[in-house]
């Protein structure tokens, strides 16, 4: 290679290194774009329905979201924190109930060594002290971490900035591409915006339905801490595949403190709720969302979680949605598909 190519390679390597070092900031910026896109969709809806100007619709939407967030915080967060602390104290006690359950099974089937007698005692002694701190740190991560609060504020501020002048930021991004391709890039950005809006609307509705269904079901089963468990189920619904699996563990552990059958009933309840989501909510609510294969969804969550931590796990699905659109529109349609029209000279 000549000197120019070596310089270009060095610039590329340096750019990739810099991007990797600021990956968390880039993810926060992407989160701000997703939030601004959702707010912009609501602003357009207000403009179309109320026939008002954008300058008035923006403060209305921001004030509405701030009001909803304040009411939610005042009505939900205090009992959620109190119930979460109780949850951290109750979950380790389920180990005793689990040991009693296996002892009961052994009494019903004498002479059958289902499991080693000291297994659960060793397991309880080794891992019970870890459960409380893990749960406490988990909830403290969301409520007490200064870094999380600052990150949330940064996302909100960036979202408002993007919302005030969306065309300028969009045009700035489009100008990074050659002149002949800028119109095509603008069209792809429009597809991404539509897909993100549909995903956000469908996800919020699913979170509400799953949380409400869990709350009602846990109340019927008389499981303690129904509000905390329902909020956990609703929030974790934003993380497909992995979230619903983990959301069933706390209520099952608490139900096991009352009776073994109740833990099984909770498992059945959450299974029915997930079937409701899979066969009713997803086909109807998410019909316009970008279709993703389950294996792709799971692998993307694992990969993004490994490289980018919890924020990567949370943003895995919108990242994959946007990435799939760019690959489909740019790589497949604009690069790979035209190759079939060219005569092959290599055969």
Write down the pLDDT at residue 112.
54
pLDDT in tens, 108-162: 666 555 555 555 555 455 545 544 554 454 444 444 556 777 888 888 889 988 9
Percentage, residues of the chain above pLDDT 90: 13
User: How is residue 85 written in tokens?
Assistant: 């602390």
The reported pLDDT for the residue numbered 134 is 46
Residue 322's nearest CA partner among 195, 197, 202 is 195
Quick: pLDDT tens for 1-33.
677 778 878 888 898 888 888 888 899 999 999
pLDDT above 90 for 188: yes
pLDDT at 264 over 80: yes
Q: What pLDDT score does 141 carry?
A: 46
Q: Is the dihedral of CA 254, 256, 258, 263 positive or negative?
A: positive
Cα atoms found within 13 Å of the Cα of residue 151, Cβ hemisphere only: 18
Quickly state the pLDDT bin for 254 (edges 50, 70, 90): confident
Predicted local distance difference test score (pLDDT) of residue 233: 87
Instruction: Indicate the helix (H) or strand (E) that contains 30.
Output: helix 23-50
How high is the pLDDT of residue 111?
56
**Model confidence at 183: pLDDT above 90:** yes
Which parts of 175-281 fold into alpha helices (H)?
A: 182-221, 226-236, 242-247, 249-258, 260-276
Report the chain's terminal Cα–Cα distance, integer Å: 28
Copy the structure tokens of residue 103. Answer: 């002892």
Rounded to an integer, what distance in angstroms lies between the CA atom of residue 229 and that of residue 223?
Answer: 9
Q: Which has more confidence, 260 or 115?
A: 260
For 70-112, write each residue's pLDDT tens digit. 876 676 667 656 655 665 666 555 556 666 666 666 666 665 5
pTM of the model: 0.71
Average pLDDT score over residue span 303-319: 84
pLDDT score at 252:
84
Dihedral in degrees, nearest 10, Cα atoms 215, 219, 223, 229: 10
**Cβ neighbours for 181, distance < 8 A, ≥ 6 positions apart:** none
pLDDT beyond 50 at 319 = yes
Pick the more confident residue, 276 or 323. Answer: 323
Q: Show Cβ contacts of residue 251 under 8 Å, excluding neighbours closer than 6 positions.
A: 214, 218, 223, 225, 229, 266, 270
Q: Are 240 and 317 in contact, with CB atoms under 8 Å apart?
A: yes
The whole-angstrom separation of Cα 81 and Cα 140 is 9
Mean pLDDT of 163-180: 90
Nearest-angstrom CA–CA distance, 224 and 207: 21
Taking 90 as the threshold, does the pLDDT of residue 65 lie above it?
no
pLDDT band at 346 (very low <50, low <70, confident <90, very high): very low
Q: What is the pLDDT of residue 125?
A: 55
Mean pLDDT calculated for residue range 47-55: 85
Specify whether the CB–CB gap between 196 and 37 falls below 8 A: yes
Separation in Å, CA 320 to CA 35, 95, 99:
16, 39, 43
């Amino acid at each position: 290679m000549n000197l120019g190519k070596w310089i270009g390679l060095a610039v590329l390597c340096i750019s990739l290194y810099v991007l990797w070092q600021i990956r968390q900031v880039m993810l926060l910026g992407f989160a701000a774009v997703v939030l601004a896109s959702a707010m912009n969709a609501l602003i357009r809806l207000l403009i179309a329905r109320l026939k008002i100007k954008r300058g008035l619709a923006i403060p209305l939407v921001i004030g509405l979201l701030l009001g909803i967030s304040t009411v939610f915080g005042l009505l939900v967060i205090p009992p959620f924190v109190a119930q979460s602390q109780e949850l951290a104290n109750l979950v380790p006690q389920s180990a005793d109930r689990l040991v009693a359950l296996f002892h009961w099974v052994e009494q019903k089937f004498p002479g059958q060594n289902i499991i080693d007698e000291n297994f659960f005692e060793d397991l309880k002694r080794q891992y019970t002290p870890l459960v409380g701190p893990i749960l406490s740190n988990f909830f403290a991560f969301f409520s007490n971490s200064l870094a999380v609060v600052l990150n949330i504020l940064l996302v909100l501020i960036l979202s408002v900035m993007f919302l005030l002048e969306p065309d300028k930021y969009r045009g700035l991004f489009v100008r990074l591409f050659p002149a002949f391709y800028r119109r095509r890039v603008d069209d792809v950005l429009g597809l991404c915006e539509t897909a993100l809006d549909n995903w956000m609307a469908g996800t919020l509705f699913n979170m509400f339905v799953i949380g409400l269904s869990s709350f009602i079901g846990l109340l019927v089963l008389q499981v303690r801490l129904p509000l905390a468990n329902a909020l956990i189920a609703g929030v974790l619904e934003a993380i497909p595949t992995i979230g619903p699996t983990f959301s069933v563990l706390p209520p099952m552990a608490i139900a096991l403190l009352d009776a073994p059958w109740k833990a099984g009933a909770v498992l059945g309840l959450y299974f029915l709720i997930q079937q409701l989501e899979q066969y009713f909510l997803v086909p109807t609510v998410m019909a316009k969302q970008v279709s993703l294969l389950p294996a792709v969804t799971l692998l993307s969550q694992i990969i993004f979680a490994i490289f980018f931590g919890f924020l990567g796990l949370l943003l895995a699905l919108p990242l994959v949605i946007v990435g799939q659109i760019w690959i489909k529109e740019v790589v497949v349609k604009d690069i790979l598909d035209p190759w079939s029209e060219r005569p092959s000279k290599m055969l």
